[in-house]
Amino acid sequence: MSNATIIAVDAMGGDFGPSVVVPGAIEAARDKGIALLLVGDQAKVQAELARIPLDGVAYDVVHASEVAGMDEKPSDILRRRKDASIQVACRLVRDGQAHGIVSAGHSGATVACGMFIMGRIPGVDRPALATIMPTEKNPIVLLDVGANVDCKPHHLFQFGLMADAFARDLLSCESPRVGLLSIGEEEGKGNTQVKEAYELFKLAQNGINFVGNVEGRDIFSGEVDVVVCDGFVGNVALKLSEGLSTSLGRVLKRELLSGLLPKIGTLLAKSAFRRFAQFVDYAEYGGAPLLGLQGIAFVCHGKSNSKAVRSAVKLAATFVEKKTNERLIKAISANEELTRYGKAIK
């Protein structure tokens, strides 16, 4: 496995555990020549492996005797569950045995274990959870979507630098347009946090293409590539988008099927909803990258199916191969003084 990208996958995570994580990860490994470390209960993981073809896949099972419970506090998991699969996976990265992790388990635990076991990149105060959202045009990166609920302006600034580095590789785009989520496009609009972050972005070094404030209505029009906000606002935005899409979908389906021509309505609805579904299909990208760690980390939705796990493992490997973290480290260090300035003014 020496030259391959090695991804440690938390095999126990998610609502469906090894039954979807193991096949999804194996498929990704086969598709892309990734070397896998499947971390979890040896017997359960082996039982799933026995069900599927494994030819041509480089994998190993790393036993972990515990699983992080969904109702446990991240700090308790970190302190007390030393043999939880997520902890073991993070230690593999810390010890140089893997390049990245993917987990569909307790996302708070992944953030905590990633931060304290894998460690942060110097100059990053808070790792941020980024989500990749489809829009009418290109997909965009929205962050933070929940890792940090109380943020200072310089945290938002760091989020922007990190997302810029990721968006370049994700969207294969030379100069992603980075916008700050606010409540008016003009400079000077927003709350105190956003207004101060704006000042930092204006001064940013290393060629970040800061396009100023963007409003809620601009997220889905695809006019920017990166949207920066704090984890409270981002999480509300993400869940509101999911909820509204689902509600609108239900309303429309009902209307189409109750129309004059219900059978044709069904046919048309089916095709139309295929595109619509992409707006809410988390499986498309599979997971949310957790940026700012020493190594690549991907958080998948608890409801992930094997397609989502496969996408996330492949995307994690892409970021390893494109050395996205090296780009991120450069962006942060080029702006070291500014993030210090940010701290000084708060």
Instruction: Select 225 or 230, whichever has its Cβ closest to a second copy.
Output: 230
The residue from 19, 42, 97, 135 that contacts a second copy (CB under 8 A) is 135
Q: How far is the CB of 273 from a second copy (least distance, A)?
A: 8
Helix (H) or strand (E) holding 40: strand 35-40
Sign, CA dihedral 177-180-182-184, equals: negative
Stretch that binds a second copy, among 33-41, 226-234, 284-292, 333-341 (CB under 8 A): 226-234
Q: According to the binding rule CB under 8 A, does residue 246 interact with a second copy?
A: yes
Q: According to the binding rule CB under 8 A, does residue 247 interact with a second copy?
A: yes
The residue from 55, 95, 136, 174 that contacts a second copy (CB under 8 A) is 136
Q: According to the binding rule CB under 8 A, does residue 245 interact with a second copy?
A: yes
Q: According to the binding rule CB under 8 A, does residue 194 interact with a second copy?
A: yes
For residue 86, which phi and psi values (nearest 5 degrees)? -65, -40
Site string for a second copy, 13-52 (x = CB under 8 A): ----------------------------------------
End-to-end CA distance of the chain: 47
Where b means 16+ CB within 10 Å and e means fewer, 152-162 reads bbbbbbbbbbb
Q: Residue count at the site for a second copy (CB under 8 A)?
A: 57
Question: Rounded CA gap, 340 and 323, in Å?
Answer: 26
Residue with structure tokens 């971390």? 39
Sign, CA dihedral 300-306-308-314, equals: positive
For residue 86, what are the CA distances in angstroms to 10, 25, 36, 91? 6, 15, 15, 9
Is residue 185 within 8 A of residue 212, CB to CB? The reply is: yes
Q: How far is the CB of 288 from a second copy (least distance, A)?
A: 14
Q: According to the binding rule CB under 8 A, does residue 231 interact with a second copy?
A: yes
Binding site for a second copy (CB under 8 A): 135-136, 146, 149-150, 181-183, 190-192, 194, 215-221, 229-233, 235-248, 250-252, 254-256, 259-261, 264-265, 267-268, 271-272, 274-276, 279
